[in-house]
Structure 1
Amino acid sequence: MILWFTVVQLAVAVAAGLFCLIMGFAGKRPNDWTVGSLALVELLLIVQVVMAIVSPFAGNPARGDGLEYGVYLVSAVLLPIGGATWALLERSRWSTVIMGVVSLSLAVMIWRMQVIWTTPMGG
């Protein structure tokens, strides 16, 4: 993974998470802005999938466990889809809070993926 891209992903995921939590606790139901913030996090994760496929061919292979990284990445890509689906089906303030929790959880997963990618196995 590329560090600057990880930092961008972290910033967007944390901002989206805090935004959704604030909106949810303020009683707001899911709207274009809250779902859109989660969609932006998802878009960056899709870019990360492409980068994870291309990076080894460009001389930047994963130094850690590739299987663990892959499981994190697939899970991370699926979380925003599940969170947004829930929000669109339930349409309550709590589904907006759930989208915030999903975004903050993704920030943790993104950082963990960076660590897995850059830390040698057994290190």
Structure 2
Amino acid sequence: MILWFTLIQVGVAVLAGVVAVVAGLAGRRPSDLTVGALALIELLLIAQIVVALIAPFAGNPPTGSLLEYWTYLVSAALLPPAGAAWALIERSRWSTVIMGVAALAVAVMVWRMHVIWTVQVA
């Protein structure tokens, strides 16, 4: 993984998560801002999938468990669409909070993927 890309992903996910949780707790329903933030997180995760496929061939192999890394990546990539689908089905303030929690979970998962890729020894 690339450190600067990881930091951008984590930063965007944390910002989106905090905005969505605050908006939800303030009584706001899902909006273009909160759903769009999840869409941006999903685009960054798709880019991460491409990077993860190319990186070993470019001389940046993982040092940790490849199975664990891909499990995190696939799981993280499923969270934003699931959160957005929930928000579109149940348009309440709590679905906005759930989208925020999903975004924060993605931030933690992306950082864990970076640790698996760079720090651990298999």
**TM superposition score category, shorter chain reference:** over 0.9
The correspondence of residues 60-79 of structure 1 with structure 2, limited to 5 A, is: 60-79=60-79
Measure the CA separation in 1 of the matches of 2:81 and 2:50: 18
**Counterpart residue number, 2:35:** 35
The normalised TM-score by structure 1 is: 0.97
1:105 Cα offset (Å)? 0.7
- State the partner residue of 1:59: 59
1:47 counterpart letter in structure 2: A
CA distance in 1, matches of 2:115, 2:89: 35
Moved segments of 4+, more than 3 Å? none
What displacement does 1:53 show?
0.3
Spell out, residue by residue over 1:70-122, the C-alpha distance to the aligned partner (whole angstroms, 9 max, x if none).
00000000011100000011010000000000011111101000000002335
Which amino acid in structure 1 is aligned with residue 100 of structure 2?
Answer: G
- Counterpart of 2:121 in structure 1 is 121
Distance (whole Å) between structure 2 residues aligned to residue 7 and residue 18 of structure 1: 16
RMSD between aligned residues: 0.8
Q: Does 1:24 align with 2:24?
A: yes
Deviation at 1:38, TM superposition (A): 0.8
Q: Is the partner of 1:63 in helix, strand or coil? A: coil
Counterpart of 2:88 in structure 1 is 88
Q: Which residue of 2 aligns with 1:7?
A: 7
Aligned identity (percent) is 64
Question: Which runs of 5 or more structure 1 residues have no equivalent in the other structure?
Answer: none
Give secondary structure in 2 for the equivalent of 1:91.
coil
Q: What is the rounded CA distance, in whole Å, between the counterparts of 1:31 and 1:103 in structure 2?
A: 15
